Structure 1
Amino acid sequence: MHLCVLGAGIVGLATAWQLNRQGFEVTVIDRAAPGAGASGGNGAQLSYSYVQPLADPSIWKQLPKLLLSPSSPLKLRPQLDPLQWRWGLAFLAACNAKTSRETTAQLLALATRSRIAFEAMRDELQPDCDFSATGKLVLYASEASLEGARRQLELQRTLGSEQRLVTPDECVAIEPALADYRGQIAGAIHTPSECAADCLKVCTELEEALRARGVRFVLGNDVKGFDLRRGRVAAVRTSGGDVPADFFVMALGSASHELGAQLGVYLPVYPLKGYSITLDVDPAPAAAPRVNVTDSARKVVFARIGSRLRVAGMAELVGHDASIPATRIETLAEATRAVFPRASRMDSLHPWTGMRPATPTGVPIIGKVAGAPSNLLFNTGHGALGFTLAFGSAQQISRLLDAKRS
């Protein structure tokens, strides 16, 4: 059976990897190089045991700042875009305690499966990707925010996560590079099992391994539409010609909505624009962090990838705008100077932006969608957790297709 994967980000490549291992003939199509989209400069954290859905009851109190403040880490700028309004209203409807609990449970279950599948890939492929398993600290600046974190911790504990609340002094003991920032910490959640890796390097290694195993790559080709026959996709139309296959998997991130609309299918996937910088670290002991750190107040994450520090954050609902405002990059630089003042000389920031494909609840779309062609599956909408969830959702897709073969 010939399968065509649309998209060569981490989700598409993980899908191709899993399908190839299952013995399928696989073709991967993308307009750019593998990992060139939202995967390339992401936060690098693999958050298998600690997830905090963006759709949370606390959003309601933040609405004025989201709409008006130029410095808010979460930014909503209303536009004449029906998708933005439809997605935004669904997002606000999901900002309640019940939905947040249900989303947390679903994401943690998927993340657990993803960890197992990612480790299986690492054992088999041994990729050079700056992998580390040093744990994660999520920092909170006030007692009020810490109380909210405590409730999330208790919920995740009932779902099998192992983590604990730690004091500022314990934070510094776990990550000595936080010593200068100790006075700004009310407390933190420590999850010792969390990991990090360079997602772009994983994408590059996967491409090389897949090519060696006979997977065909059709790169530099835009997906334009579909050749539909009797309720099925006969071929995907690209700027370089038609590509036929027996089954298709759409893993095109934030571009999925537009292509779904061509099929008369509504995919609630909207781009959450994020930014990152990547810094060379000072090798002195305790200068730069080795533990993953998330500053919850700033909505900024820090991940050590080899001799570099990835600093990523912000979520903007501003459509497909690939510009990189200097103010947003300076925000990340300022956060680095505040939290880890000795981490880097910051000679070169390597600024990046990416469009993280998000659903209103934060739960990705995996599998069939009502009204879509019978031989088209979807694997999209992973938001900021694409790297974390990629191999679990790929495994889910491969099981669905394996059942079609038997």
Structure 2
Amino acid sequence: MNRRVTVIGGGVIGLATAYALVREGLAVDLVEARGSLASATSFANGGQLSYRYVAPLADAGVPWQALGWLLQGESPLRLRMRLDPAQWRWLAAFVMACRHTVNRRNAAWLLELALHSQATLARWREDDGLQGFAWRRNGKLVAFRTARAFAHGREHLLEPDSQQVLGAAELQALEPALADAPFIGGVFTPDEEVADCHRFCQRLAERLQASGLCRLLLGRPVTGWVRRDDEVLALELGSEQLDVERVVLCAGYRSPGLALPGMKLPIYPLKGYSLTAPITAEHLAPQVSITDYERKIVYARLDQQLRVAAMVDIIGFDESVDARRLRSMHRLAGETLPRAADYERAVEWAGMRPATPTGGPIIGGTPYRNVWLNLGHGALGFTLACGSGERLARMLG
């Protein structure tokens, strides 16, 4: 009989972990607090699988740059200080991580994990026939509005042998949708990808249910742990108990609230926003993924929809949609790509990214011999999900 692993969390990280475990031949119970899977942070994220653009936000000079953003009326970053020691600790640790040496070390680790994740998704697609989630290898264009930013982009190429540095005319030749856009140049990376994270999660859930090795326990929030010394014996699910052999915590930004004594989970939610606008025959939507470097806005075509994502709000655990932030996104997207989609019919969304101060996820064991962690992926959850899940599965396999 297969040993059973209990995965807490039904977002893209929990589902990818469960899928990787099942591929290893392990039985899985996936426990999700909500009544549906991938209905929070994984529901409508940016859609870009930017495997080569994973450098952490924490870097030298970022705190001063962030202060400049905070003085802007439509800043990509918003900070609201709260009477919350967790927020203060996270911000202090973030500032401490804003050093070139720390950034380079973490960026190298994230790049290695990201490329492993890209290769893992390729195997799942090819070996398992996993499809139906708007996946495309369409390339990523980082576009610049100012000469200074463009010069910085040219000087810091990730893969000089494969990346293309393009002027304004070359941008428009590559992507006709940019004919009216105010970009003076860009850097194009052809091997980057896009996909719909929510649809990907749905396909994983279908495969898990068909495997005969996975039980999906939805609408079952974890309310406590039953433990003895350094071992967890069961999870409390309200008035019920679920006996466990091994547990993987993948509950995103809610994970600190589930931490056992002795676990340090330096995770804080960074709220982001997106618009999902329909594309019809009259529109000129971009085929490549676009990142507006100065405004920190990303655009990704997912079949007949355009996903526009932006903003970082460090404001606590408020999941509500801020109408002012979304009005700003509508206006900025309409200015930059006015003919790309029907923004008036866009579906609006906000999600909480579970971020560590260093930008690197936490993958591995805990002081408890049968409890592991796979969390803290920030804005890179979809990008890193497959590789993180496979690594965790190999630890338990």
TM-score normalized by structure 2?
0.95
State whether residues 49 and 162 of structure 1, in contact with CA within 8 Å, keep that contact through their aligned partners in structure 2: no
Q: 1:143 offset after TM fit, Å? A: 2.2
| Structure 1 residue 15: Cα displacement | 0.4
Within 2, Cα distance between the matches of 1:240 and 1:17?
A: 28
Q: Find the aligned partners of 2:81 and 2:20 in 1 and give their Cα distance.
A: 39
The separation in 2 between residues aligned to 1:230 and 1:251, in whole angstroms, is: 22
- Code of the aligned partner of 1:2: R
Distance in 2 (CA, whole Å) between partners of 1:240 and 1:10 is: 27
Match of 1:313 among 285, 310, 313: 310
User: Who is 2:249 aligned against?
Assistant: 250
Which residue of structure 2 lines up, in the alignment, with residue 126 of structure 1? 130
Q: Distance in 1 between matches of 2:244 and 2:320?
A: 36
Counting only pairs closer than 5 Å after superposition, residues 257-276 of structure 1 correspond to structure 2 as 257-260=256-259, 262-276=260-274
CA distance in 2, matches of 1:204, 1:240: 29
Partner of 1:192: 190
Which residue of 64, 74, 87 corresponds with 1:61? 64
Q: Measure, in 1, the Cα distance between the counterparts of 2:61 and 2:188.
A: 22
Aligned pairs (5 A) from 1:333-372: 333-369=330-366, 372=367
Partner of 1:278: 276
Q: Does the residue aligned with 2:306 lie in a helix, a strand or coil?
A: strand
Asked whether the 8 Å contact 1:221–1:238 carries over to 2, the reply is yes
Whether the aligned pair in 2 keeps the contact of 1:275 and 1:312 (CA below 8 Å) is: yes
More off after superposition, 237-246 vs 380-389: 237-246
Cα drift, residue 254 of structure 1 = 0.4
The answer on whether the counterparts of 2:54 and 2:114 sit within 8 Å (CA) in structure 1 is no
Kindly provide the amino acid, as one letter, of the partner of residue 147 in structure 2: E
User: Which sits farther off after the overlay, 81-90 or 142-151?
Assistant: 142-151
Give 1:377-396 correspondences, 5 Å limit.
377-396=372-391
Q: Aligned pair 1:104/2:102, yes or no?
A: no
**Residues 96, 393 of structure 1: CA spacing in aligned structure 2 closer, same or farther, 3 A cutoff?**
same
The answer (yes or no) to whether the contact 2:16–2:385 under 8 Å persists in 1 is yes
Q: C-alpha displacement at 1:63, in angstroms?
A: 3.3
User: 1:310-352 CA deviation, whole Å, 9 max, x = no partner?
Assistant: 0011011111111112111112211221121111232312110
Aligned-pair identity in percent equals 40
Partner SS for 1:157: coil
Alpha-carbon deviations, 1:184-204, whole Å to 9, x = none? 223212110111011000111
Q: Does 1:13 align with 2:15?
A: yes
**Contact 1:10–1:390 (8 Å) recurs in 2:** yes
Farther off after superposition, 264-273 or 123-132: 123-132
3-state SS of paired residue (2:156): helix
Offset of residue 145 of structure 1: 1.9
Do the aligned residues in 1 keep the contact of 2:117 with 2:386 (CA within 8 Å)? yes
Map of 1:39-54 to 2, 5 A cutoff?
A: 39-54=42-57
CA apart distance, 1:60: 2.7
RMSD: 1.6
Tell me how far apart the structure 2 counterparts of residues 36 and 263 of structure 1 sit (CA, whole Å): 29
Deviation at 1:374, TM superposition (A): 1.2
**What SS does the corresponding residue of 1:319 show, helix, strand or coil?**
coil
CA, structure 1 residues 399+176, in 2 after alignment: closer, same or farther (shift >3 Å)? same
CA distance in 2, matches of 1:109, 1:240: 43
Residue pair 2:10, 2:30 contacting (<8 A) in 1 also: yes
Give 5+ residue unaligned stretches, structure 2.
none
Q: 1:303 maps to what in 2?
A: 300
Q: CA deviation at 1:5?
A: 0.5
